[in-house]
């Protein structure tokens, strides 16, 4: 057997063992189940939804849950279950896109700051501090009316405000790793900074970053719902858990199912991704494994 085949088999075995440890943890198992259900409901929303989420039927407005409409109807007679399923698709899309862009850009800027010249490091850190000085909601309320409400605005706000978080973590890790003896040896051998970072430093820090990113997905989901609730995010006829909560708040005295339909998915997503992220950290981070 060749060395490459041996390494591939070793990696597969490590991944398999990690998955078994993950599923043996009750918190990890619950997280996997909840996240899987959320993803499947979002991917197959068009199949699972009994009605068109944008279909208006005023004569049946504000009907309580029934066999026909499991979560009732809203003030325009739209099926709340269908809107909640499509809202999950938007929530996960925003969270995954925002996470990918934030991690990607943050990792690049963090590596540049940690392994680049001092003046560039100071400039990037200053930009990070400037962005982090503004609360997300305040920034969204200020920027939202300028660019207009919508998914692009929500994603842009979340990405811009999250890049400094990942950038600072990567910067600190790179600075710490760059002082290691093996890095000094690679420099003495004439290896360029780009190759040192790409081949030796990045593989050692990307795992913990991805675990942190998985734990931040519910933050993005809640942020999208909050911005939509405030009128900066998704606009009708598109569906969002935040819009469902907004409708429930407006008609709180006539309905209760709207608040439940908007809040239960948010709680489920938060618990699922949090449990999964915690379990992934305990499973794959060597520093936190029990007995090490």
Q: Output the pLDDT for position 94.
A: 92
Give the per-residue pLDDT at 164. 93
Looking at residue 292, what is its pLDDT? 41
Q: Decide: helix, strand or coil at residue 224.
A: helix
Contact 222, 270 (CB under 8 A): yes
What is the structure's pLDDT at 80?
93
CA separation for the pair 211, 103 (Å, rounded): 11
Where residue 235 falls (left for φ over 0; alpha for ψ -120 to 50; beta otherwise) is: beta
How far apart are the C-alpha atoms of 189 and 198, rounded to whole Å?
16
- By CB atoms closer than 10 A (0-12, 13-18, 19+), residue 211 is buried
DSSP state for residue 289 in the 8-state scheme: S
Distance (Å, whole) CA 111 – CA 106:
8
- Give pTM, 2 decimals: 0.83
Q: State residue 137's pLDDT score.
A: 78
Residue 73 to residues 64, 202, 263: CA-CA distances in angstroms?
Answer: 7, 50, 16
| Strand, helix or coil for residue 73 | strand
Mean pLDDT in consecutive groups of 10 residues from the start of the chain, 292 residues: 48 59 80 92 92 91 90 91 93 93 93 86 91 82 78 89 92 81 76 76 80 87 89 84 90 86 92 87 60 40
| Domains of the chain, first to last | 51-275 (1.10.3720.10)
């Amino acid at each position: 057997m060749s060395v490459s085949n041996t390494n591939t088999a070793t990696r597969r075995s490590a991944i398999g063992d990690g998955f078994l440890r993950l599923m043996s943890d009750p918190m990890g198992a619950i997280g996997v189940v909840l996240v899987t259900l959320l993803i499947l409901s979002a991917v197959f929303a068009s199949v699972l939804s009994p009605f068109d989420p944008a279909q208006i039927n005023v004569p049946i407005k504000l009907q309580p849950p029934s066999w026909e409409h499991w979560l009732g109807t809203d003030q325009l007679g739209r099926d709340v279950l269908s809107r909640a399923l499509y809202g999950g698709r938007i929530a996960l899309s925003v969270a995954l896109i925002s996470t990918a862009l934030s991690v990607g850009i943050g990792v690049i800027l963090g590596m540049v700051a940690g392994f680049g010249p001092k003046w560039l490091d100071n400039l990037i850190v200053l930009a990070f501090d400037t962005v982090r000085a503004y609360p997300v909601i305040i920034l969204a309320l200020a920027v939202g009316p300028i660019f207009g409400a919508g998914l692009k605005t929500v994603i842009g706000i979340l990405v811009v405000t999250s890049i400094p978080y990942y950038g600072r973590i990567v910067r600190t890790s790179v600075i710490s790793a760059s002082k290691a003896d093996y890095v000094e040896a690679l420099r003495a051998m004439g290896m360029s900074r780009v190759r040192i970072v790409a081949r030796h430093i990045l593989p050692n820090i990307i795992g913990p970053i991805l675990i942190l990113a998985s734990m931040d997905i519910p933050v993005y989901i809640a942020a999208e719902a909050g911005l939509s609730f405030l009128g900066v995010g998704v606009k009708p006829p598109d569906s969002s858990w935040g819009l469902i909560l907004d409708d429930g708040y407006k008609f709180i005295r006539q309905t209760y199912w709207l608040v439940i339909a908007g809040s239960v998915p948010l709680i489920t997503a938060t618990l699922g991704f949090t449990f999964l992220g915690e379990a992934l950290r305990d499973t794959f981070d060597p520093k936190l494994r029990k007995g090490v």
